[in-house]
Amino acid sequence: MQEINPWGSEDVKDYDKIMKDFGISPFTPLVKKIRNPHYLMKRGIIFGHRDFERILEAIEKKKEFAMMTGLMPSGKFHLGHKLLADQIIYYQQELGAKIFLCVADIEAYNMRLDDLDKLKDIAINEYLINYIALGLKPKSCDFYFQSNRSIAYYKLADMVARKVTFNELKDIYGELSPGKIISVMTQAADILHPQLEEYGGSKPVVVPVGIDQDPHIRLTRDIAARFEKEFKFIPPSSTYHFFMHGIKGGKMSSSDPNSYIALTDTPEDIDRKVKNMLTGGKESVELQRKEGGDPDKCVVFEIYKFHLLKNEEDVKKLYNDCKTGKILCGECKARLKNMLKEFLEEHQKKREKAKDMVHKFVKE
């Protein structure tokens, strides 16, 4: 069984196996039930869920629901982070969800970097400004820091302790530390507190995350049920998206600058990074013309599919053109460079404007 470590940086080899082992349902059958599905849903990039039916029902019946998720401030904001940002914005703009967005600065302080000012700076300049530039609006968006929330929230985080046992934590997380335990309790409070009276009471909540966060989701769903006497929590729903691959394979990670495309990268960075990018191409042009490439193993294709191509036909066409050897990697990379540079140039202009909006999200 592949262990899932929420604090590690391992890539996931076999998503199907994890889904089976941990009881995550496939997302694809639900896509047709959504009136305006995001392309990440249509393309199967959001591949799994728990209890998303509850969210579907809220959407259909036009009932209130919330989207809650969190970010651990670390390094540069890259294309992997953009996957989650695109979903947050979709829930806000297209589905009218109330947004709870947590900066996990206490988790980062305990597990990574002991400088809260620096963490705040990263959260704002790397994460928030990119979210705003990508389209996040202040309306119905509760952006908060774990280090600066409310009594009701801290009280809930403390009360979680009664609802879990040490053995249960060991079974889920393996070796424990005080920092890990506090992170787990705090994250349970993050996910559940939108349902406290102080935050509008019980409602369906969806938590979009990478699969590394599923241990927290599983535990929090159990905890929600165990609070039946104290609170009325509806077990939170979740969705899971694939990790992006790094430039040379593995996982795209902010701890390895050679693995990511940052949203602040320069055109020169793009030239260098795309040049080094792992493809599904063959050893020779002749062979690729004859046998075709392998888009399923190609980081170039992944970036087109996850971020750049607007409609489904374009994705299918590129896939087929690659498979049949109609397009070769040189041409494919040249086009990627252009599209990425164009996107980043636009985005970086929007980032400049976004700086004036920060005060609407962060109360001093």
- Residues near ligand SF4 (CB under 6 A): 279-281, 293, 295, 298, 300-301, 322, 327-329, 332-333
Instruction: Figure out which of the listed residues 39, 45, 65, 69 binds ligand TRP, where binding follows CB under 6 A.
Output: 69
SS (H, E, C) the chain: CCCCCCCCCCCCCCHHHHHHHHCCEECHHHHCCCCCCCHHHHCCCEEEEECHHHHHHHHHCCCCCEEEEEECCCCCCEHHHHHHHHHHHHHHHCCCCEEEEEECHHHHHHHCCCCHHHHHHHHHHHHHHHHHHHCCCCCCEEEEECCECCHHHHHHHHHHHHHCCHHHHHHHHCCCCHHHHHHHHHHHHHHHHHHCHHHCCCCCEEEEEEHHHHHHHHHHHHHHHHCCCCCCCCCCEEEEECCCECCCCCECCCCCCCCCCECCCCHHHHHHHHHCCCCCCCCCHHHHHHHCCCHHHCHHHHHHHHHHCCCHHHHHHHHHHHHCCCCCHHHHHHHHHHHHHHHHHHHHHHHHHHHHHHHHCCCC
By CB under 6 A, tell whether 70 contacts ligand TRP. Answer: yes
Instruction: Figure out which of the listed residues 207, 300, 318, 340 binds ligand TRP, where binding follows CB under 6 A.
Output: 207
**Contacted by 87, from ligand SF4, ligand TRP, none: CB < 5 to 8 Å by type:** none
Instruction: Figure out which of the listed residues 24, 30, 104, 136 binds ligand TRP, where binding follows CB under 6 A.
Output: 104
**Cβ-contact 191, 215 below 8 angstroms:** no
**Contacted by 191, from ligand SF4, ligand TRP, none: CB < 5 to 8 Å by type:** ligand TRP
CB 238 → ligand TRP: shortest distance, Å?
9
Judging by beta carbons within 10 Å of its beta carbon (0-12, 13-18, 19+), is residue 114 exposed, middle or buried?
exposed
**Contacted by 72, from ligand TRP, ligand SF4, none: CB < 5 to 8 Å by type:** ligand TRP
Interacting stretch for ligand TRP, rule CB under 6 A, among 14-22, 137-145, 205-213, 278-286? 205-213
- Nearer Cβ to ligand SF4 (56/278): 278
CB 86 → ligand SF4: shortest distance, Å?
21
Instruction: Figure out which of the listed residues 51, 105, 126, 190 binds ligand TRP, where binding follows CB under 6 A.
Output: 190
By CB under 6 A, tell whether 126 contacts ligand TRP. Answer: no
**CA distances in angstroms from 226 to 19, 23, 237, 280, 281, listed in the order given:** 24, 20, 16, 48, 52
**Contacted by 322, from ligand SF4, ligand TRP, none: CB < 5 to 8 Å by type:** ligand SF4
Instruction: Figure out which of the listed residues 51, 86, 107, 126 binds ligand TRP, where binding follows CB under 6 A.
Output: 107
- Nearer Cβ to ligand TRP (213/288): 213
- Nearer Cβ to ligand TRP (107/265): 107
By CB under 6 A, tell whether 172 contacts ligand TRP. Answer: no
By CB under 6 A, tell whether 72 contacts ligand TRP. Answer: yes
**Contacted by 259, from ligand TRP, ligand SF4, none: CB < 5 to 8 Å by type:** none
By CB under 6 A, tell whether 253 contacts ligand TRP. Answer: no
- Nearer Cβ to ligand TRP (102/322): 102
Footprint of ligand TRP (CB under 6 A): 6, 68-72, 102, 104, 107, 187, 190-191, 207, 209, 213
